[in-house]
Structure 1
Amino acid sequence: MIVQPTASGDRRRQRLRRLRLARLLALGCVAVLALPLLFRVLPETGDSTESTAVSALLWLLDLAAHWQWLFAILLVVLCAVIGLAAHRDRRWWALIPLAALPLWTASPVLPDASDKATPELTVVVANVHAGNRDPRPLLDWLATAPADVVVLLELSPAYADALARAAPDYPHRELLPDDSPFGIGLLSRRPLAGFETHASADDIPFLLAMLDTPQGQTRLIAVHPMPPLQPHWRHERDLLLEVAARDSRELPTLVVGDLNATPWSTALLSPRTRDLRRSTGFAPTWRPFGGRVFGLPIDHVLASPHWQRVHAERGPDIGSDHLPIRVALRGSQ
């Protein structure tokens, strides 16, 4: 006798397939949330090029790790649905606390300043967007929240010309505008010495200057590497930050810019950059769809152990797809 499948049987099988898929997706979310732990123990590759297979794999893992909060939210939703749907099998709910992993797996932050009497150094990083021609929103914000030094990314010739006429409060400046997204510049209230222009392996400029600060002469490096849209560009971004981190234990150093790297990226978790710590938090600074919630925290002020953090904040909309960041630092004792 042949038993014909019933409609209820078909629905049950479809339900079981959906549950299996949800379980696999939940386990995939856990794996992505654990990626920063893997990045911390990866062997150092040195300056030599990685093999094609290793580079491609690290590139894919790095891209996935950027979106930690998205996978954390998805894990909570999937585990809640599984627990309710699978005959109230609440064992999956035990995975929900893992959604907090991004708080603990991110790159290390600067310690908070304990000595409130020492002078502050205030740093702003602003990706102004290559198509933006009006510096007035940025300057209006700086008038209410002044900074000692401002690092500008995606600085176009038109923006630089308008800025030169409207920023008298920053007498020390080095501007390298370009029609590409890789124009870069510095505005400073403090003297700049030993200014140098360098280029990455991809011929993308970055700036190095010695800045007169309350901590003494401080090396300031302003960078904007290529977005890691290919394995090569991820590798070059990581190498650029490794170069910037050299000697940062001995020499007070600030690395400032749109790093195209989140706190869970291979770039910030590399053993070779461990002496540079974030003064910035988890709030998105790049906003591909506008708003202040959805996006990625890729604009950073990294500092050597000579510094402590007083506070960090995001600025207002300045006509860019990035929000500026303002950080106040004090020298460590």
Structure 2
Amino acid sequence: MQQQKPEMRRSLTRAGISLIGWCGLLGALTVCLMGLSTFVAPDFWLADNMSFFLTQYLMAALAGVIGGLLGLFVSHRFKLLYRFFWLLSLAAFAALVAQTSSRTQTNTISPTALADGRQPLKIISINIEHLFLGDEVLTTFLEREKADIVVMQEVLWWLQERRWERLGLPIGSTGQNGFPEHLQIGELGGLAVYSRFPIVKAETKVIQGKLPAGANVYYDADRELLSLTLDTGGPPLQLVVIHPDSPRTEPRWQNKRDYLDELDKVIERLRNENSGQILAIGDWNSSPWSGRFQETLSTNDLATAYPGGWPRNTRFFFDYRLHQILGAPVDQFGASSDLQIVDVTLGPDIGSDHLPLIVELGLVEPAAD
């Protein structure tokens, strides 16, 4: 019996490694197929939503392929079948890496510094998830950043007003606490823009959404699209603030696509009327790998960039400390070709379930007299 124990341990070790290998290969194939579906079937709700988690799928698939590689060093009952599945999972992983990398580079440019010593225009976009605009963490962040334009989504302006009134504070806080002096609120109160530059023109377009079955009384399917013309001292900046519906059900996914269809029309009209300097920014509720997001950029000749060159999670679930794992990159921007992208970074946790997106741009120089 004592002589059999080492052999039994070796047998159990081989069986454990074999099990890890098979689980790794099957898991890698599963997540790769889920990830690849977003490229194969971008016009289907579930496949399009797979694009939110491509970073997680890539990491899981890599772990599965490595686990499968360990299994090649032990004997298997179905040796040839195991090798076939390992090669298949490796090929699926390589295809997912290639597709994700290609989509990441589509309509993407590298930020470049301003060559003439000019200061870039700084825009901060935050989905504040109903956070009070007078919150100390938020105002401290804004005071430090000194942004020229602050764009906010999920504001619930009527609730903000009540909070300011209850605290006996000036409504809006324009020109103080890090907020620039010019303010524009969307018609539905969900979007707000603070600007250092005068707002020459403002227009809110309300996109009526379809109410999904079983929606609770707090859900509002209607969304607004806010477009502003800002006087920057040179050619005007056309700012479009975005926040479509979250595509967590198929009807809401369709609401988002209807919203983006209207966005394309608004940008086309702005381009025809004003010719350039268009910035579309906000919580797109779309990942950079979504075919529909890239379609809007391509159709309107807009470019984007990412912090460090790769999309980072801006929306997180449960806890900020888990945002690298349990999150998705949904806060985006698109800039017309006459806007120079100088830098793109993310801000810290400010109490919302989104991180601030910080974009620095170079504007067209005013014409010489």
Q: How does 1:179-198 map to 2 (within 5 A)?
A: 183-198=190-205
User: For residue 242 of structure 2, what is the aligned residue in structure 1?
Assistant: 223
Runs (4+) off by over 6 Å: 11-18
User: For residue 4 of structure 1, what is the aligned residue in structure 2?
Assistant: none
User: For residue 82 of structure 1, what is the aligned residue in structure 2?
Assistant: 68
Q: How does 1:27-66 map to 2 (within 5 A)?
A: 27-35=29-37, 37-38=39-40, 58-66=44-52
Q: Distance in 1 between matches of 2:200 and 2:296?
A: 30
Residues 330 and 186 (structure 1), Cα distance of their counterparts in 2 relative to 1, 3 Å cut: same
Aligned residues of 2:228 and 2:238 also touching (Cα < 8 A): yes
Deviation at 1:153, TM superposition (A): 0.9
User: For residue 251 of structure 1, what is the aligned residue in structure 2?
Assistant: 276
Q: Distance in 2 between matches of 1:237 and 1:131?
A: 24
Q: Distance in 2 between matches of 1:271 and 1:184?
A: 21
Identity of aligned residues (%): 22
Residues 270 and 114 (structure 1), Cα distance of their counterparts in 2 relative to 1, 3 Å cut: same
1:198-233 deviations in Å (ceiling 9; x for gaps): 111322122111112366112211121110012232
Q: Distance in 1 between matches of 2:296 and 2:281?
A: 19
Give the aligned residue type for 1:300. Q
User: For residue 214 of structure 2, what is the aligned residue in structure 1?
Assistant: none
Select 2:185's aligned residue among 175, 186, 191. Answer: 175
Deviation at 1:115, TM superposition (A): 4.0
Select 1:262's aligned residue among 287, 292, 302. Answer: 287
The 3-state SS of whatever aligns with 2:285 is coil
Aligned residues of 2:20 and 2:71 also touching (Cα < 8 A): no
User: TM-score, normalised on structure 2?
Assistant: 0.71
Decide which structure has the larger Cα Rg and report it.
2
Gap regions ≥5 residues in structure 1: 1-8, 43-54
Greater helix content: 2
Residues 293 and 105 (structure 1), Cα distance of their counterparts in 2 relative to 1, 3 Å cut: same
Number of residue-to-residue matches in the alignment: 307
1:115-165 deviations in Å (ceiling 9; x for gaps): 422552211101111254643322211211111111111113343546735
User: For residue 293 of structure 1, what is the aligned residue in structure 2?
Assistant: 324
Q: Distance in 1 between matches of 2:232 and 2:15?
A: 68
Q: Distance in 2 between matches of 1:97 and 1:260?
A: 27
User: TM-score, normalised on structure 1?
Assistant: 0.78
Q: Distance in 2 between matches of 1:214 and 1:176?
A: 24
1:63-91 deviations in Å (ceiling 9; x for gaps): 11210011101111111111211446574
1:282-308 deviations in Å (ceiling 9; x for gaps): 121111122242311111222122222
Q: RMSD value over aligned CA atoms?
A: 3.4
Deviation at 1:168, TM superposition (A): 1.6
Deviation at 1:12, TM superposition (A): 9.7
